[in-house]
Amino acid sequence: MSLDGKNVLVLTTNYGTEQDELEKPVAVLREAGARVTVAAQKDEGVQTLVSDKDPGSVVQPDTTLAEASADGFDAVVVPGGTVNADQLRTDDDARRLVSAFAESGRPVAAICHGPGSSWTAGSPRGAG
């Protein structure tokens, strides 16, 4: 499936995102032609984890959650990682972004522990 011309926003914290749940979806989306923007809490490297405990790779974000807007994006992805999900679900900017996507009917893709942030935002249909 081609995602040419589609823009996808990925939300993450700067520590605790499961490495494969951030890197693999970003790579697959880009291979399919999507333009992917990674937004983190701070404008510094994202230290991923492997199995929620071992250090993984460091991913450079494109922007911050505070600077990010849902405008111009077709979908949002919330990767898992227990630490990541726990922090994102209480982050006002992450909640604002997830809510904006869900309220406008655009896809919210949440991986593993990632749904915790969208449920807190009170928006996905069929949650529960």
3-state secondary structure the chain: CCCCCCEEEEEECCEEEEHHHHHHHHHHHHHCCCEEEEEECCCCCEEEEECCCEEEEEECCCEECCCCCCCCCCEEEECCCHHHHHHHCCCHHHHHHHHHHHHCCCCEEECCCCHHHHHHHCCCCCCC
Tokens of 24: 């693999």
pLDDT at 127: 42
Rounded Cα distance, 128 and 125, in Å: 9
Q: How confident is the model at residue 94 (pLDDT cuts 50, 70, 90)?
A: very high
Give the catalytic positions in this structure: 112
Strand partners, 7: 35
pLDDT at 113: 61
Q: Specify the pTM.
A: 0.90
pLDDT above 80 for 6? yes
Our CA dihedral for 119, 123, 125, 128, rounded to 10 degrees, sits at 30
pLDDT above 50 for 2? yes
pLDDT at 128: 37
At 36-92, the pLDDT tens digits run 999 999 999 999 999 999 999 999 999 999 999 999 999 999 999 999 988 998 999
Higher-confidence position of 67 and 110: 67
pLDDT above 50 for 126? no
